[in-house]
Structure formats: structure tokens, C-alpha cells
């Protein structure tokens, strides 16, 4: 039996051969794709291991020269004098925590309020307008935020707080909070939108107002996702570099005064890697110890976010 396709004829045997060729090609793709995916996953894991190994090795070199007790307990960070310098990381940690706390005071309330509005109140038209605006905020380079904090926010705050220095913790903290708002809003809105509508309808049927449904029904049901977004936002603030490097100053002082110049963990790394320290010096190796401290901070935040997500996850 033969079939024709225009001027060309095909027998059943030819059609079977053609089909086998297609199947063999599909089987090859099915065999190849898992191997490629495994390769990419392996590269990611090996890259992470390589970064961690580099941090650990160079950090051990640093602690061969500087006591770990001094690093953890001293309240002075004066690394530039090789003979009489002090390597207490506390001033850098307090500077980081101070700017992070200010950022969270801004980002969490505004981001959560934005998420509640987008999830429970906004019309489809309003959502289409507001979500792209949030995405634009998330896409602005952090160096732009840094100069915005230095040249606009700080002079504005100096009119309200006369003793505020040109470099301070308040201004970069506030701008970091503005930068992180889209992250909190987007992740929290996704968590709230995943709550089934049947729960909302049941609460409304029992006589609850829309605000009561949002605050007493939807918000508790989305606790795991919202809490995880908070933890990830804190990690983002801890690891922020350019805003604090530009507007926070470079004064590693153990203080909780938001009007004073400070230095964060990331800002110190920037300062050293711009060429202020020679290779092989104690100052050079100190950036790895500071980087390891930063790594442990962000790792703890991510693990905490995963724990909270598992602990408070609601099954529907």
C-alpha cells in the first residue's frame, strides 16, 4: 500500500521508518536533557562550594594573625595600623544592624499595607498600574539610590534634624527601606493571593467586613509566606552595599546613634577592595573574615525564613 504527497509517494514501510527516526530523535532528547540539567545543577553546587571554601581558607589565614576573641569581643575596628590596630568586628555589625533596622521600619509596614491593598482591595485596572511601578522601584540600580540618599534625602533630613551629619545611618536606612518595599509587597501579595477565595466568601457570609477579612482571615492564613518575605527582606538589607557605602560614611564606630557616620560590613569590603590594602596584608585578609561574618548573617536569615515557612504553613 502506498500514499501520495504531491508528486512523491510513500509506502507504509517508509512511513514506519520515518516515525522511528522521529522517535529515536525524541528519545535522544529525553536522554540528553536530564544530563544537561544535572550538569547545570552540579555547576551551581560546585560554585557555592568554591565560594565557601575560599572564604573559609582566607578566614583561617586571618585568624592565624588576629585572635578570634579580639575579633568577636573588641569594640574597636582600626585595621590600618599593622602594629597597634584593632580588629573588633562589633562596630561594623552594629552599623549593619542599625541601617537594617531603619530599613525594616520603612519596608515592612508600607510593603505589607501595599500587599493588602493589591490583594484585597485593588481593581484589576489599579493592579495593572501599581505593580509595574513597584517593579520599576525594584529595578533601579542601588548606586542611584545611594546618591539619592546622599544628595536629596540627607539635606532634607538636615532641615528637620540640624545635628545630622552629611554621612549618617538614618538616610541610607530610609532609602534602603524604600528599595526593599517592592520585595515585601510582591512576596506578601503572592502569599495572600494564594489563600482560597472560599475562605474569604465564608467570612463575608458570616457578616465580616472586608477589612476584617483581610486582617483576621487572609493575613493569618498567609502568615508563612509573609514572614518569609520579611526574613528575605532583612537578608537583602544586611547585604546591601552601594547605598551604605555612598551615604553611610566610612567611620567604624560602635554606636546606635542614627545621626552619626557609620560603616557596615559591606561598606568596609568595598573600601578595602578599591585598592587601599596590599595583597597578603592583615587588612587584606580581614575582608574575608568580614565576608564570612556577612555570609553567616544571611545564611541564618535564609534558614530562619525556611523554618518559619514550614512552621506556619497552612494546608488547604
Work out the angle between the directed axes of helices 90-116 and 170-193 (0-180°, nearest 10).
40
pTM of the model: 0.80
The crossing angle, in degrees rounded to 10, of helices 223-238 and 282-311 is 170
| Spans of all domains in the chain | 2-65, 86-311
Chain centre distance of CA 8? 61
- Cell 505593580 -> residue: 131
pLDDT per position as a tens digit, 199-217:
887 887 877 788 888 888 8
Per-residue pLDDT of the chain (316 residues; tens, 9 = 90+): 444 555 555 565 666 666 666 666 677 777 778 888 888 889 988 888 888 888 888 888 888 888 888 888 888 888 777 666 788 888 888 989 999 999 999 999 999 998 888 888 888 888 888 888 887 877 888 899 999 998 999 999 888 888 888 888 899 999 999 999 988 988 888 888 888 888 887 887 877 788 888 888 888 888 888 888 888 888 888 888 888 888 888 888 888 888 888 888 888 888 887 766 677 777 888 888 888 888 888 888 888 877 777 776 644 4
pLDDT tens digits along 38-52: 888 899 888 888 888
Fold for domain 86-311?
Answer: MetI-like fold (1.10.3720)
Q: How far apart are CA 74 and CA 20, in angstroms?
A: 73
Please state, in angstroms and rounded to a whole number, the distance separating the CA atoms of residues 107 and 88: 30
- Tell me how far apart the alpha carbons of residues 269 and 77 are, in angstroms, rounded to a whole number: 13
CB neighbours of residue 19 within 10 Å: 10
> Of all residues in the chain, what percent carry a pLDDT higher than 90?
10
Amino acid at each position: 500500500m502506498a500514499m501520495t504527497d504531491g508528486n512523491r509517494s510513500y509506502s507504509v514501510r517508509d512511513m514506519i521508518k520515518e516515525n522511528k527516526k522521529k522517535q529515536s530523535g525524541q528519545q535522544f532528547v529525553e536522554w540528553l536533557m536530564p544530563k544537561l540539567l544535572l550538569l547545570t545543577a552540579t555547576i551551581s553546587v560546585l560554585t557555592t562550594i568554591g565560594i565557601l571554601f575560599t572564604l573559609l581558607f582566607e578566614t583561617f589565614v586571618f585568624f592565624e594573625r588576629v585572635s578570634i576573641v579580639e575579633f568577636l569581643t573588641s569594640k574597636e575596628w582600626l585595621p590600618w595600623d599593622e602594629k597597634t590596630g584593632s580588629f573588633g568586628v562589633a562596630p561594623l555589625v552594629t552599623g549593619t544592624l542599625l541601617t537594617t533596622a531603619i530599613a525594616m521600619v520603612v519596608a515592612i509596614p508600607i510593603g505589607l499595607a501595599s500587599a493588602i491593598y493589591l490583594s484585597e482591595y485593588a481593581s484589576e485596572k489599579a493592579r495593572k498600574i501599581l505593580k509595574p511601578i513597584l517593579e520599576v522601584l525594584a529595578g533601579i540600580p542601588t548606586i542611584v539610590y545611594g546618591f539619592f540618599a546622599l544628595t536629596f534625602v540627607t539635606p532634607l533630613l538636615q532641615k528637620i534634624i540640624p545635628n545630622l551629619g552629611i554621612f549618617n545611618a538614618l538616610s541610607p536606612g530610609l532609602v534602603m527601606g524604600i528599595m526593599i518595599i517592592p520585595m515585601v509587597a510582591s512576596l506578601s501579595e503572592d502569599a495572600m493571593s494564594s489563600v482560597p477565595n472560599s475562605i474569604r466568601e465564608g467570612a463575608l457570609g458570616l457578616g465580616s467586613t472586608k477589612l476584617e477579612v483581610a486582617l483576621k482571615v487572609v493575613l493569618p492564613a498567609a502568615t508563612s509566606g509573609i514572614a518569609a518575605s520579611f526574613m528575605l527582606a532583612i537578608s537583602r538589607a544586611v547585604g546591601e552595599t552601594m547605598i551604605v557605602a555612598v551615604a553611610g560614611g566610612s567611620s567604624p564606630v560602635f554606636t546606635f546613634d542614627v545621626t552619626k557616620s557609620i560603616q557596615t560590613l559591606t561598606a568596609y569590603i568595598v573600601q578595602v577592595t578599591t585598592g587601599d590594602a596590599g595583597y597578603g596584608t592583615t587588612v587584606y585578609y580581614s575582608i574575608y573574615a568580614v565576608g564570612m561574618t556577612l555570609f553567616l548573617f544571611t545564611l541564618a536569615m535564609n534558614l530562619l525564613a525556611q523554618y518559619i515557612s514550614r512552621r506556619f504553613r497552612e494546608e488547604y
